[in-house]
Amino acid sequence: MAKTTGSDDEKEVVTVTSADGTEIAYEQSGSGPPLVLVHGAIFDRAIWELGDVRSTFAEQTTVYAMDRRNHGDSESSDAISPEAQFADVVAVVESIDGPVHLLGHSAGANFALGAAPRTDNLRSLILHEPFGPSEERVAGIEETIAEMLALLDAGQNEQALALFLDDVAQFASDELDEIRSAPIWDAHVETFPHTLLPLLEAGGEYEWDLTPFADLSTPTLLPVGSESGHLKDMNEGLHDTLPNSRLATFEGHGHAAHLVAPDRYTDEVLSFISAAD
């Protein structure tokens, strides 16, 4: 059962209990068809405030912007396996009356995808570049992570985070500039080693086999940046696998098009939602 823990005139923070007892928080705002937002590996639900993405969505939908476990207002847990995080998304989705539109970005898209076959309460999926590098790219990513760990050992957290976003997360230069100038940057420079590193370890042991999703007929939008490098591989593989999917390519953008082209991004998503309802 959902529990309201705080509210203001426009937004309220609610918690639901996941399968293993972990309390998962989400912020509810707006009105219209329900839209659940699942953030990526590093930043919490505040990422959707940049470019007024959340508030724009809330003009036409009821937004449920969740904090993944160990982020924001959600409870911390040592259990961070993909399966546990699939269950967190399912807990939020199934706490909502009526079928929902489910949007995940980066790692959040992985967990949204994994949650999809585990619930019957979906109207559509929007999977914005889930992480699934090709075998050829894995060695390069491992080298970057080793360099990032060395920077962290030297106390250079900001440089380590920027390196990860640039080389692994494939943020384009303008996207990286945008996030580094955002109010949420400093706080996440301090917290990201405690959220990202355990997730990388847990995720590295998980095999992202797309075969089980071949029968997933939920209408699916796959936003992808033309400059997203290896992160395009997973989306293109998904598009080939899913029977009811559409690619939406953001030319000239990387992994975080929603930060620098929020109007186009929200228009694309809201048009897809309108067509799916």
Residue ranges for the chain with pLDDT beneath 70: 1-10, 133-136, 203-206
The structure tokens 């007024």 sit at 52
Residues 174, 147, single domain; the answer is yes
The residue written with tokens 């992570």 in the block is 145
Maximal CA-CA distance, the chain: 51
Domain at 269, CATH number: 3.40.50.1820
pLDDT per residue over 62-120, tens digit each? 999 999 999 999 999 999 999 999 999 999 999 999 999 999 999 999 999 999 999 99
pTM over 0.85: yes
If one counts every other C-beta atom within 10 angstroms of the C-beta of residue 1, the result is 6
117 and 219 in a common domain: yes
| Residue whose structure tokens are 């309220």 | 12
Query: Does residue 12 sit in the same domain as residue 113?
Result: yes
Nearest to 249 by CA among 269, 223, 272, 227: 223
Strands, sheet with 122-128, edge to edge from the N-terminal-most edge strand = 3-7, 11-17, 23-30, 62-66, 34-38, 100-105, 122-128, 220-225, 245-250
Give dist(CA 69, CA 129) in Å, integer.
Answer: 20
Does one domain contain both 66 and 174?
A: no
So what's the pLDDT on residue 233? 80
Residues 87 and 9 in one domain: yes
- If DSSP codes are grouped into helix, strand and coil, which group holds residue 67? coil
Q: What angle do CA 30, 35, 36 make, to 5 degrees?
A: 115
Q: Are residues 96 and 117 in the same domain?
A: yes
Domain interval for residue 174: 136-200
Rounded to whole angstroms, how far apart are CA atoms 41 and 131?
Answer: 10
Indicate if 96 and 228 belong to the same structural domain. yes
